[in-house]
Amino acid sequence: MKSEAPAAPHAASADRALGKDTALLLTPPVPRAGWRLLPARVLAMCTVELQKLRHDRTELYTRAVQPALWLLIFGQTFTRIRAIPTGGIPYIDYMAPGIIAQSAMFIAIFYGIQIIWERDAGILNKLLVTPTPRSALITGKAFAAGVKSLVQAIVVIVIAALLGVALTWNPLKLLGVALAVILASVFFSCLSMTIAGIVLSRDRLMGFGQAITMPLFFGSNALYPVSVMPGWLQAVSKVNPLSYQVDALRGLLLGTPSHLGADFGVLAIAAALGITAASSLLGRLAR
């Protein structure tokens, strides 16, 4: 008669395996780290913005009218009268990078309206209960604004080229242009979302946006060199991120003397600070 004693160890090991499986089922999954969610969130929101532009290009066309008028009327007129020192290049060439930066800023600076609309529609609260960190949500939205602004900048570059502006078509420099536009747009969109987190209203945000866009634009080197500004305006220009964006665009597109290292450094720091500020106020906006 055969003994059945050896079967006991197998039963014990089966019980241990079952216990491990049960423990795995009862243990909640470890949430993904914020930095691992960030690329997917940014890509998803950028894709959404591109899909919006593909389905409705009205905003793209209407926003191209103002930059075209700046270049066509203001640029060509001041090129003729030669009232502003430009370092030996036609004034329309000199101002083209400034108008590119302006058109991108005007899109990004009102991006906070969208996040207020998402709050009113209940979308923001749904996003906040997901495992996605708030910083990833803000970064995704900021880079989506950057993509939208970049598309607008491309339209303005084409208009400038059609008007005879001598722009470079070096692929590496154009990549630098894209990076400068996106970084600056990240900052300005985060500035808009930060203001949205403070004022909590679309109407108030529109008022603040309109109040700061012109000072940012005229307080930069977009239309004239810093050297011709009064002292107080030069001080404003030095802390204005738009000035660093314009300097980078001018150096990349026209080949004029610039400080690309400092320009991109300031834009990157401004973008990081903007993301931090907007992330800290996102919860207040959702209340």
Q: Domain locations in the chain?
A: 36-79+88-286
Is the pTM for the entire model greater than 0.95?
A: no
- pLDDT < 50 positions in the chain: 1-3, 7, 18, 20-31
Instruction: Calculate helix-pair angle for 260-286, 134-162, nearest 10 degrees.
Output: 130
Confidence (pLDDT) at 123: 82
pLDDT, tens digit, 9 for 90 and up, residues 107-116:
899 888 888 8
Q: Residue 101 in contact with residue 188, Cβ under 8 Å?
A: no
Non-local (6+) Cβ contacts of 260 within 8 A are 176, 248, 251, 252
pLDDT value for 112: 87
What are the residues whose beta carbons fall under 8 Å from the beta carbon of 145, sequence distance 6 or more? 49, 107, 108, 111, 185, 186, 188, 189
Q: How many helices (H) and strands (E) does the chain have?
A: 14, 0
107 contacts 150 by C-beta, under 8 angstroms: no
Sign of the dihedral defined by the CA atoms of residues 49, 51, 52, 58, in that order: positive
- Residue reference for tokens 């423990």: 23
pLDDT of residue 9: 52
User: In this predicted structure, what is the pLDDT of residue 29?
Assistant: 46
- Using alpha carbons only, what angle is made at residue 173 by residues 167 and 176, rounded to the nearest 5 degrees? 120
| Per-residue confidence (pLDDT) for residue 16, from 0 to 100 | 56
87 Ramachandran zone, left/alpha/beta (phi>0; psi -120 to 50): left
